[in-house]
Chains A and B, each alone.
Chain A
Amino acid sequence: MSYAYLFKYIIIGDTGVGKSCLLLQFTDKRFQPVHDLTIGVEFGARMITIDGKQIKLQIWDTAGQEAFRSITRSYYRGAAGALLVYDITRRDTFDHLTSWLEDARQHSNSNMVIMLIGNKSDLESRREVKKEEGEAFAREHGLVFMETSAKTAANVEEAFINTAKEIYEKIQEGVFDVNNEANGIKLGPQHGPANVHPGSGNASMSQSGGCC
């Protein structure tokens, strides 16, 4: 399937906050109550439409454990969007946001759109982080904020698509140089430079590259 643009995303945040589940809900529209943990990185892809244009999202899901940060860091660069996820039922995952954000800002290009996600909104009874706190953090750091549930799919589409809309707007404003792949944006085959061969990229509806 051809696309006008390809956007590269990265999902980051503490281990167990639901990064892989958010991705699975977005690409496959399903939820796995027990999802095996991610070692290293995995990725998924899906087509969306913005402003009548087909856009392919290529989303890299990273291991959350601290020890792996030195490895996953290299995936920040070349990302146009990032989903920074915490778990609303675990205060510590919220407390670590600053360090994640520092990491992301330091290793990505300055135009990267970052969306703050408070996941597991279905577990209201176990909530430890108020919605207002998330909003305040986002405001303070210039992020877009949303609470989601990978289980009920609440706001999941919106989180990924709104991020794409922001990136798209930045392209329209000329903030992103679409010819530099290091920005995490690639022109589709029909728009692309001569060295992109039509048909060589097998852009299917959803594609994934997990280990297992």
Chain B
Amino acid sequence: MRGKDERIRTVLDTLRIDVSEPLLEKLRTLAIGPGGLLKDDFRREAWPLFLGVHKKCKRRIRDGVLTDHGPEAASGTWAYQVEMDVRRTLKRFPPGIDDVTRGDLQKVLVSLMCKLLKAHPERHYYQGFHDMALTVLLVMRDPENAYVVIEALMLKHLRVFMKPTMLETASLLGCILAVIERENRQLYMHLLRSNVGTTFSLPWVLTWFSHCLDDYELVVRVFDAFLSIDVSTEEEAVYYPLAVSATVILENAAKILSTECELSSQHAALSPLPQSVDWDSILEKGWRVMGNHSFQTVMKGAETYRRRADMQLDGVAWQTPGLWEAVWCVLPFQGTKFHPAEWPPIARAAFFGERLVSGKILDLPTYMMITHSSALIVSLVLPAIVAGLKASDCEVCFKVIDDFRATLSDDELKNTKVIEKKFVDYCEDKKGKENRFCYYLGGLEESATGILTEVSKPLSYSLPTEKLCEKLKKKDAQICELRFDKQIDFKTVDLKKLKVRDLRKILNDWGEDCDGCIEKAEYIKRIEALKPKYVKEEL
């Protein structure tokens, strides 16, 4: 870590003279990387820089002295509540702190928060905000500088949490499940069926885990990463803690899956997870998760999750996957959003309809409408739509199936078992979206489920690619939602103009890393060196 210490110091020294975007980017990378920013001395300077408020922090930012003036008396709408909550917060203070110092610190914290809340009356105090404010105060030490940093957080990162109710926050938490759905479907189903909901993650997200971690060093290390995110859009600032929460759960998938699929057992298993994970690795993986799934798709997934969870709670016992599928299909049918790929199960939904009505999910008129119209829809409309499946509608499937088919000999094409084995081999070194495609089909070791026969059989009787992908789309609509990332044109691109995070993404997509790389130049060198291997020159 000594090397990193030096690097951070050098970057900060330069930034003090001139704030340049590439250097700031370097600092962001350091903050997410192992150990974060290492020292509070560094954090005091780096945090305001990340938030773009460094110019507002003037007082003794470098050495930071805990207040030398008596705090103002607490006042305002929230004063009583804030005071009560801060008084109850003991374990968050550094161990070994004496009662007098802690008492002073508590007073400073209360007046600081009251001042902030008075200055922003449209922001509502929530329990957990005090955990955030305390962490910042402990790092910044100077209350005025802490004020500046917390204020910036209130205006962006915590804005949603500071509304009069937590309704919007609750729907945001659905993003955690939506990420899990995209990474590990089996785990998602398990969590959904257990009715555990998302409340367990509320203290994680509202306090950036500070309410749940006992170790001060760990808390500020997590803050380093969350603060480092470039907040030119508010979305990313909100998304990172959610992606990290999902990662915490994904990393413990085996444990969760082996825990009884029941609300209280799941709640008890999930709640303490943050205390026992490798945070360096979690923060790094969470960052990559953000790159893999856009916030927009995850928000859509959260909405779907909420509907499914509501239905689940309404007491329909899900015994068969068929019924699940049927209901998922009927659900959007009631509303406006309805994907054609989900139509075939309507027939099945009609079959199960009676049970749905008895489960009070559907009222009778809706049920009648579905049963009477589904046959018509399936027989008339659906074929017309599906026949139009073009390569651009399902690009990853088209590419993989065409590529894979070309690797098989005529003899191999006769035996479905051989095809399946070959497909698993084929998938082994696939990256990015092709890897995802393999995962959905069950071609990877870590795949939750497999529908490999849906590929091997049609291939054995030479079904055209568009028909094959069409069939797969019916099995799993996600397959056609896969899109290749826009390819960077290496002939014209100026790597020096890309951000470090984009450079890391390029290496990540190639399945390469850049051990110990910090300087942008180092990343570029690495990419240039690897380019011949991954970038096919079109001559």
Contact = CB atoms under 8 A, between A and B. Distances in A.
A39 B211 contact: yes
A25 interface: no
Contact of B166 (A45, A68, A202): A68
B313 A211 contact: no
Contacts of B315: 182
Interface string A64-94: 0101111110110100000000000000000
Interface in A36-69: 36-37, 39-43, 45, 58, 63, 65, 67-69
A74 B207 contact: no
A201 interface: yes
A202 B266 CA distance: 12
B169 to A, nearest CB: 8
Contact of B128 (A39, A43, A70, A72): A39
Looking at A200, A202, A210, which has the most chain B CB atoms within 10 Å of its CB?
A: A210
A68 B206 CA distance: 12
Interface string A13-44: 00110000000000000000011110111110
Contact of A209 (B89, B197, B214, B267): B267
Interface in B72-95: 81, 84-85, 87-91
B253 to A, nearest CB: 19
B391 interface: no
B205 to A, nearest CB: 10
A50 B232 CA distance: 61
Interface string B193-204: 000010110111
A171 to B, nearest CB: 20
A42 B200 CA distance: 8
Nearest to B85: A37
A123 B240 CA distance: 45
Contacts of A34: 87-88, 90
Given A43-B264, A74-B313, A36 B166 contact: no
By size class, the interface of chain A is 20 to 34
Contacts of B313: 74, 77
A40 B272 CA distance: 14
A63 B127 contact: yes
A202 B91 CA distance: 30
A28 to B, nearest CB: 15
Looking at A40, A77, A201, A207, which has the most chain B CB atoms within 10 Å of its CB?
A: A40
B170 A70 contact: yes
Given A39-B127, A63-B127, A211 B212 contact: yes
Nearest to B267: A209
A194 interface: no
Nearest to B206: A39
Contacts of A155: none
B17 interface: no
Interface string A192-212: 000000001110000111111
A39 B269 CA distance: 17
A65 B130 CA distance: 13
Contacts of A65: 81, 126-127
Contacts of B275: 212
B502 interface: no
B265 interface: yes
B407 interface: no
Nearest to B173: A71
Contacts of A72: 199
Contacts of B271: 42, 209-212
A9 to B, nearest CB: 12
Interface string B118-140: 00000010111000000000000
Contact of B202 (A39, A69, A77, A200): A39
Contact of B126 (A35, A67, A210, A211): A67
Nearest to B268: A209
Contacts of A200: 260
A201 B165 contact: no
B268 A207 contact: yes
B363 interface: no
B124 A39 contact: no
A202 B271 CA distance: 17
B90 A212 contact: no
B127 A208 contact: no
Given A43-B267, A74-B197, 16 more contacts: A16-B84, A34-B87, A34-B88, A58-B264, A63-B127, A65-B126, A67-B126, A68-B127, A68-B202, A70-B167, A71-B169, A74-B199, A207-B268, A211-B272, A212-B203, A212-B275
6 contacts: A37-B85, A40-B200, A40-B202, A67-B166, A201-B260, A202-B260
Give 9 closest A-B pairs by Cβ, nearest first: A209-B268, A40-B202, A39-B203, A209-B267, A212-B212, A40-B199, A211-B203, A211-B271, A70-B165
Interface of B: 81, 84-85, 87-91, 124, 126-128, 164-167, 169-170, 197, 199-200, 202-204, 206-207, 211-214, 260, 262, 264-265, 267-269, 271-272, 275, 313, 315
